A and B are shown apart, each in its own frame.
Chain A
Amino acid sequence: MDSSASSAASVSSLAGAPALPRGLLRGRPGLVLLAVAVLAVPLLSPNAYVLDVAILVALNAIVCVGLNVLIGYAGQISLGHAGFFALGAYGSALLAARYHWPTTLALATATAGVALLAFVVGRPILRLKGHYLAMATLGLGVIVSIVIATEDGITGGPDGMAVPPLAIAGVALQGERVWYGIVGAALLAAVWLSTNLIASPIGRSLRALHTSELAAEVAGVDTARQKLMAFVVSAVFAAFAGGLAAFYAGFVTPAKASFLHSIELVTMVVFGGMASTFGAVVGAAVLTVLPQLLTSLRDYEMVVFGAVLMATMIFLPRGVVPTLAALWRRWRS
């Protein structure tokens, strides 16, 4: 359906534009709530397994918060973010393990490298729309994953490669508790950054272009530039989380670059609720924890996971957080 926008003045209030989260989730209170949740995990259950799962949740959530800026706000799909995640992971791993760079510098350089790559490939790719954009990003991710799996002289091929531990000022950071602190802080920083970005004029133009790219352009938004920025931001979040994941696990495998991992990331964003930063976090949390809970079902794991995913999207079509937030508002009024 074509959306209608007759004048430039109406761009910020176009019908159907994803609205800023209201009520409980507005700006800082949401961040405080998230900080409380992050702090509560080790206090309530300090065992290593729980912390390990919580670390995975936080890493996925960082990727999803970034991806949500691209998908939820700018309205541009990507089926290739596992490629950026893997490039961040392998870039960090290679610089640290093969070239013996200081690990933090390796992480920063790999992330910056991915930012540059996203900037270069982003411009031609983002000229594509809808499913064609999905295909192009998917192709990019598949190419990255094939290169990683094939160049076994550099990457270790399908067997993966070992990564030295992350060290700050010569002190190696190891153990679930320390890592939980690191990724927890990184997640809060990621959420803080993205909520600020979305509340800024940039966020407003992103939402405008989501509703109608042409209308936004007519209203004076440099849509190509805004889309590229959202793309680079999301790639940086993914690469940074990928690098952290590599150092935490001490190992990287090409599975991280797979098409299925890209799909998984998009699914988390939509499941939690598009255009909702906290939705992205909730989506990442639920879909990371669920498979862990389902491992006891063994052969039924995939069936139950698929069924839960379908049922949630049927009954909460706008994603968990926006749908429940709307119900909550209706119930209160």
Chain B
Amino acid sequence: MGAQALQFVAAGLTAGSIYALVALGFSIVFNASKVINFAQGEFVMIGGMAAASLSAAGAPLAVALPLAIVVAAAIGLLLEKLTIERAGRADVTTLIIITIGASIFLRGIAQLVWGKGIRSLPPLTGDRPIELGGVTILPQSLWVLGATLVIVAALSWFFGRTRLGHAMLATSHNRLAAQLVGIDVRLVLFASFGLAAALGAIAGVLIAPIAFTSYDAGVMLGLKGFAAAILGGLGNFHAAIVGGLVLGLLESLGAGFVSSAYKDAISFVVILAVLFVRPDGLLGVLRSERV
């Protein structure tokens, strides 16, 4: 029983890390614009599909994975430049609908380029399960966990130590004040979309060897990432990670101990319950409204 629970925890942390990376993308774009980017899931898909097709074409993984991430980031930057920036001062709802349009558009493009079939990506280091204290774990799961740790560290450094990172943080706290001290908030928004897309694509290339990928794989992963970001508390760096891991564990333990058909329903029931008690997410700070 104990070993079984540990097994579920390991699976939950793996999925949770992926959700955390996607949720970070949601939070970063939200911080720059207050917009929920519904195209975020498509970048997960683009990362996975691009890596799978590059690898199938004979590219070694060391080339295919970084290239796929760069492709996705470039598409994220283009999306911001061609649509969000053009919409200018349109309100948040309008911008959200634009990202919904973008997600349909990107899914359509993916379907044209890669077809409707399911694709797989070989794991980074073999697929022989490793025995670890009574738990069998796929080497790819260790890659997922390790890579997530590295990315979290890198993002901490980026937001804590670099000029652009500081500018992004400042903009998230108060856009107008950031503008007044000379921060280029348009550049921040542009960079945010690129960074969010890259994070999504990293999640995509990490999960593709475990879960396969297809042109419409981004819908579900985007939804989970959004749920994770909200569960933790939107716009907060640590909250996205906590939300992702909690969601992954909920799903895995719910599927293992309660019902696999209802695993997603269980997660959403818990999320609703959490929001009823803490309306701004687990780590959210209750803000007062100024009139």
Contact = CB atoms under 8 A, between A and B. Distances in A.
Contacts of B269: 139, 143
A319 B105 CA distance: 19
A68 B91 CA distance: 17
A213 B289 contact: yes
B109 A303 contact: yes
A259 B223 contact: yes
Contacts of A138: 223, 226-227
A317 interface: yes
B100 interface: yes
A318 B38 CA distance: 19
Contact of B93 (A124, A274, A303, A306): A274
B248 to A, nearest CB: 17
B271 A139 contact: yes
Counting chain B residues whose Cβ lies within 8 A of the other chain, the interface size class is: 35 or more
B239 to A, nearest CB: 12
Contact of B275 (A3, A132, A310): A132
A260 interface: yes
B264 A146 contact: yes
Nearest to A147: B265
Interface in A205-234: 212-215, 218
Interface in B48-94: 83, 86-87, 90-91, 93-94
Contact of A129 (B97, B104, B261, B279): B279
> Which one of B87, B93, B102, B227 has the highest number of Cβ atoms from chain A below 10 Å of its Cβ?
B93
Interface in B93-109: 93-94, 97-98, 100-109
Nearest to B116: A299
A185 interface: no
Counting chain A residues whose Cβ lies within 8 A of the other chain, the interface size class is: 35 or more
A271 B97 CA distance: 8
Nearest to A16: B91
B255 to A, nearest CB: 12
Interface in A297-327: 299-310, 313-314, 317-319
B109 A139 contact: no
Contact of A146 (B105, B219, B262, B280): B262
Given A307-B105, A313-B97, A136 B272 contact: yes
Interface in B251-283: 261-262, 264-265, 268-269, 271-272, 275-276, 279-281
The secondary structure that dominates the A interface is helix
B32 interface: no
A13 to B, nearest CB: 15
The secondary structure that dominates the B interface is helix
Contacts of B91: 317
Contacts of B261: 146, 150
Nearest to A140: B272
B279 A270 contact: no
Interface in B207-261: 219, 223, 226-227, 230, 234, 261
B232 to A, nearest CB: 11
A305 B104 contact: yes
B279 A128 contact: yes
Interface string A101-134: 0000000000000000000000011011101101
Nearest to B279: A128
A183 interface: no
A306 B289 contact: no
Given A146-B264, A300-B108, A306-B104, A313 B272 contact: no
Interface string A245-274: 000000000000001100100110011001
B112 A299 contact: yes
Interface string B127-151: 0000000000000000000000000
> Which one of B97, B105, B109, B290 has the highest number of Cβ atoms from chain A below 10 Å of its Cβ?
B97
B180 interface: no
A140 B36 CA distance: 19
B280 A132 contact: yes
Contacts of A150: 261-262, 265
Contacts of B262: 146, 150
Given A135-B271, A136-B275, A314 B291 contact: no
Nearest to A301: B108
B1 to A, nearest CB: 26
B165 to A, nearest CB: 23
Contacts of B179: none
Nearest first, the 7 closest Cβ-Cβ pairs linking A and B are A306-B105, A302-B108, A309-B101, A303-B108, A306-B104, A310-B101, A317-B90
Given A142-B264, A270-B93, 5 more contacts: A5-B291, A77-B93, A299-B111, A313-B101, A314-B86
